[in-house]
A and B are shown apart, each in its own frame.
Chain A
Amino acid sequence: MAVIREKGYTHWDGRLVERRFPWSPITRTGILLAFRKKRFKLVFAATFVPAFVFLVGLYISERLEDFKAMIQGSDRLINIGPKYFVSYFTNDSLLFMIALVLALGAGGLIADDLRHGSLQLYFARPLGKKDYIAGKMSVAAFFVLLYTAVPGLLLVIFKLVFAGSFEFFLKYPWLPLSVLGASLLLTVFFAFYIMLLSSVSKNNRYVFVLVFGVYYFSEILFNILRGVFRTPYTALFSIPANIKQVGAAIFGQAPPLAVPAVWSFAVLAGFCGLAAVVLDRKIRSVEVIK
């Protein structure tokens, strides 16, 4: 007796080969999709400007005599040492541009899936919640690393190339590790930050406003509280201030404010923990209708 099949049904006889990193296609797609946005490309390129400026500073530092007249008052850029790297990793322009790149390129990573109800498309495949989150976070991580670890390590290399000796490296042998540490700090924090905000709304524009709203609000709150209480500890409310505190500590420098850097680190870690909890609750394969 012939078997009656529903039209379109096919049985797959193949064997499912498990990927080592099942989330990697999510990351790849996320990165490719970000580059499809015209404005993103512009912002992406502009985010390398701080790295370029620091590179120019580095070059000038090796040609001091030639540039003497030009460099008055810009010692932050030409005294190459740990402070120079702290300046690079915690300067407001870089942090702002990272936030902008992430808001544009990664703000919709979860929000769009929630909006279109496409979470089920992921979970109908051999992917778990962790793979989904890892895949999405890696998109953010990719961009942050591109603006932190890559230029940071290149600046070290260029310093050695421009100087023509290993003296700098012998003086600060731990510097590459600090560069990686600071990159890791920014990457982990910003990846959690953008994932958290992307998961709280289905509206891309709202996420965009939140990315900057939360960031600046924390800074304003810090200033308001400092005005009232006259204590540097209010810096713990500020995202950029906490990053600056921890960033300085990673390079063995005194934090800009008289607050132990470990406290700032705890705040940032706490934020990431909170983001993880929210993500765990928000990412569900089945949408719960209220």
Chain B
Amino acid sequence: MTAANPVRRIFRFFAFLGRRAGRTRVFAVLGLIPVVLAVVARVFLRGRTGLMADVFTEILMVFFLQFYIVLLALFYGTSVTAEEVENRTLSYLTTRALPKPAIVLGKYAAYSALIAALVAVSLTVSFFVLNAARLGQPDLYVTFLRYLGVLVLGILAYTAFFTFLGTVLKRAIILGLVFGFGWENVIQYFPGSTQKFSIVHYLKSLLPYRPAPVGAGGGRGVALLLFRLEPTKPLAAVLILAALTAGLLALAAWVFRTKEYLPED
């Protein structure tokens, strides 16, 4: 037998199962929508480069940041434990020579990678379709990597949060929904420190929010996303997101190790 890391073993197994599942195809189709919209916008806004960049930063980024990654993280994150309990397949995992925390962490990693892949494909295509006229500008790639980085951090944090909820609660999806689409949206209208009690605040703090220099052909920043934002410094935001992710995962792993999961009947 190999001493392959148990987390890696679980990751591999669930990355395979995740790719195979029909629902992944449905979510991938959902990811095509920004691409289609980008193509449509490109056709209609032909020649207006700045406006096209605005469409991405002010409209498509909202879709990615406040809908697509939250929805995917909500479904896959709560699936980490609940799916095994509901489908009664947990015993196939817990009766292997695998530490229980490895099951949660490996499955979390597999599903996060799957979400990241879905989002990255959609983001890359839609971004470069809308910014095709600026492909020669190096700052475009920096912006792209920044968006991608923010979304990946968001995926990691949201999936960790929903994974934690799923290990603790039987019906985590209801609370997850209220958090993901209720709390995270409402909190941004609150001033001061209140908005810091959300994940989206730290993600928005990492987005380029200053207007691009005139003549650079860039957009005006992400005004819609940054509505009433009182940003946290980027480094602090990254550290907080990382700490949040690590903390939630550690909690999830601990709960999974100590809790008994009984089938409903």
Contacts and interface: CB of A to CB of B under 8 A. Distances in A.
Say whether A associates with B. Answer: yes
Contacts of A204: 86
A228 B75 contact: no
Interface residues of A, number: 22
Contact of A212 (B62, B78, B83, B181): B181
A104 B59 contact: no
B59 A224 contact: yes
B74 A216 contact: no
A26 B171 CA distance: 25
A224 B37 contact: yes
B236 interface: no
B227 interface: no
A229 B44 contact: yes
A129 B195 CA distance: 51
Interface in B136-168: none
Contacts of B190: none
A213 B23 CA distance: 13
A224 B177 contact: no
A217 interface: yes
B78 A205 contact: yes
Interface in A19-41: 39
A117 to B, nearest CB: 14
A216 B173 contact: no
Given A205-B173, A208-B173, A220-B67, A225 B37 contact: yes
Nearest to A42: B174
Contact of A209 (B33, B58, B59, B71): B71
Contacts of B86: 203-205
A205 B58 CA distance: 31
A228 B44 contact: yes
A173 B150 CA distance: 57
Contact of B75 (A206, A217, A223, A227): A206
A285 interface: no
A201 B87 CA distance: 14
A221 interface: yes
Interface string A173-209: 0000000000000000000000000000101111011
A216 B59 contact: no
A223 B71 CA distance: 18
Contacts of B55: 227-228
Contacts of A203: 23, 86
A250 to B, nearest CB: 28
B188 interface: no
A209 B75 contact: yes
A225 B41 CA distance: 9
Given A205-B78, A217-B30, A224-B37, A39 B174 contact: yes
Contacts of A100: 174
Contacts of B79: 205
A100 B37 CA distance: 29
B17 interface: no
A209 B37 CA distance: 23
B23 A205 contact: no
B173 A209 contact: yes
B107 to A, nearest CB: 15
B221 to A, nearest CB: 15
Interface string B11-41: 0000000000001000000100100010011
A205 B40 contact: no
Contacts of B45: 228
Contact of B23 (A104, A206, A208, A228): A206
Contacts of A220: 62-63, 67
Contacts of B44: 228-229
Contacts of B174: 39, 100, 104, 208
Contact of A216 (B40, B41, B78, B181): B181
| Most chain B CB within a 10 A radius of its CB, from A208, A212, A224, A229 | A224
B59 A205 contact: no
Nearest to A226: B59
B60 interface: yes
B82 interface: yes
Nearest to A204: B86
A225 B78 CA distance: 31
Contacts of A221: 33
Contacts of A213: 30, 71
Contacts of B82: 205
Contacts of B30: 213, 217
B59 A228 contact: yes
5 contacts: A205-B79, A205-B173, A209-B71, A212-B181, A213-B71
Interface of B: 23, 30, 33, 37, 40-41, 44-45, 55, 58-60, 62-63, 67, 71, 74-75, 78-79, 82-83, 86, 171, 173-174, 177, 181
